[in-house]
Amino acid sequence: MAVFWKAVAGGLLLTVSLLGGPTAGQGSLRGKKQVSGDSVFYLSQARDLWRPLIHTAVNLSEINSIKSSFQFRTYDPEGLIFYGDTKNGEDWFVLSLMNGIPLMQISKEGMLVSVEGGLKLNDGKWHTLEVSNQGKFVILEVDGSTGLKVGMQSQQTEEVISGGLRLALGGILIEKEKMIVQFKPQMDACVRHGSWLNISIPWESEVEELRHCYQNIRPGSYFSGTGFAVFIFQTDEYAALRVELWADFRQMNGTILSIKPLQKELEFRVEASKNTEVHLKEKFILKSTFKKLLITFSKSELKVLQDGDESQSTTLSVNPELTTWREGLLAIGGLLGEGEDGSHFLTGCLEKIQVQGRDLDLDLAVKHMSISSHSCPA
């Protein structure tokens, strides 16, 4: 099933097809191998969109308290962290981030509750999170202090819960439509030092090999030289297309940006090695000493501006057919080729990417699993 994301900004429409299976982690879970729950997990590892990275199940008769804790680190403002349920998904709990702030959604005995609050956690630091169920309350503690506390009481006679309890990281085991607040699940984040229900239980991994987390990180999008991120774009014929890139271009190697209009050959690319090269039918070379590159496509010209300095701008008059693209593919981190193939992949950290003045979130692209959308190794 394909999921589409659209964002309209200044006449530009970006449409991204995210390939995935079912819209949630429903159905049978085919664990490929067992892993320890206190391992280090990178949540954005490639898999079906809502399917958990790892999951486990335990009988409620085996546990004394419903409490789990773990350390969490991210620069990503939005995504899914932790899920738990009983009664085979009838009662459930989801912890995520929205705008960097913790969001809890709970279903219990037919009641649905959503609450968000506390400090932003997407600061790139390790935070200790503890989730517990204490009677009628579900409590989230952050770094030893209460972050969120939700009380729920039904008019129905409360039943003694028995049977199984399921836990999952990075995905859910229910239909996503059951949640009150919808969000994108992908999260460039790491989890470590997990203590789950105060017992030692094995987890099952949905991927053959777990990806490592970087020891230290900084904000940005990191490309390792093995793949790229692709967006489908549509533009208003009267709107100028603006792409801004922030980076230490001296440390970049490979294709930073390429554009291929629909049913046409590759029209435009920006490449970096010792210098930065801009190609649109002809090539011009920029010294890679700048930190910001603004590329503007208008009806009859291409303008490249370095570090906001007009004295360092380059303007090229072009045939309007070359810059008035209506739709096509925009790739970050690689050279577009035939079909889905790419080449000349980028190695380096793009500190920030904007299209039409808006941050471009690579979590919403069709991208190679090696790309870290919100963090670079420091």
Structural domains of the chain sorted by starting position, each given as residue range(s) with its CATH number in brackets: 31-213 (2.60.120.200), 219-377 (2.60.120.200)
Cβ atoms 254, 269 nearer than 8 A: no
307 pLDDT higher than 50: yes
Label residue 25 by pLDDT band (50, 70, 90). very low
Top pLDDT among 370 and 313 is at 370
| Whether the Cβ atoms of residue 67 and residue 130 lie closer than 8 Å to each other | yes
pLDDT of residue 28: 39
Q: Which of 119-133, 256-270, 316-330 has the highest mean pLDDT?
A: 119-133
In this predicted structure, which of 11-15, 110-114, 131-135, 246-250 has the lowest mean pLDDT? 11-15
pLDDT reported for residue 238: 62
**Mean pLDDT for the stretch of residues 130-157:** 86
- Per-residue confidence (pLDDT) for residue 328, from 0 to 100: 83
% of the chain beyond a pLDDT of 90: 50
**Lowest-confidence segment of 9-13, 201-205, 329-333 by average pLDDT:** 9-13
- Return the sign of the alpha-carbon dihedral for residues 191, 196, 199, 200: negative
Summarised one tens digit per residue, pLDDT across range 348-359 is 999 999 998 999
pLDDT at 76 over 80: yes
Q: Which residue has tokens 């995935």?
A: 20
Residue pair 48/20 in contact by the 8 Å Cβ criterion: yes
Return the minimum-mean-pLDDT range out of 187-196, 227-236, 313-322, 334-343: 313-322
The Cα–Cα gap between 11 and 7 comes to: 10
pLDDT at 165: 92
State the pLDDT at residue 207: 85
At residue 332, the pLDDT reads: 95
At residue 226 the predicted structure's pLDDT band, cuts being 50, 70 and 90, is very high
Pairwise pLDDT comparison (283 vs 160), residue with the higher score: 283
| 292 DSSP β-pair partners | 246
What is the predicted pLDDT for the residue at 320?
61
Nearest-angstrom CA–CA distance, 270 and 195: 46
This prediction's pTM: 0.84
- Provide DSSP, 49-96: TTS-SEEEEEEGGG-S-EEEEEEEEES-SSEEEEEEEEGGGTEEEEEE
Q: Which two tokens stand for residue 330?
A: 């925009």
Classified as helix, coil or strand, 142 is strand
DSSP state of 157: P
**pLDDT at residue 27, rounded to an integer:** 38
Residue 70 structure tokens:
């773990």
Q: How far apart are CA 82 and CA 133, in angstroms?
A: 14
Pairing of strands 301-306, 309-317: antiparallel
The pLDDT of 41-49, averaged and rounded, is: 86
Q: What is the pLDDT of residue 1?
A: 24
Q: What is the mean pLDDT of the chain?
A: 83
State mean pLDDT over 79-98: 95
Q: What does the pLDDT read at residue 325?
A: 67
Identify the pLDDT of residue 7: 35
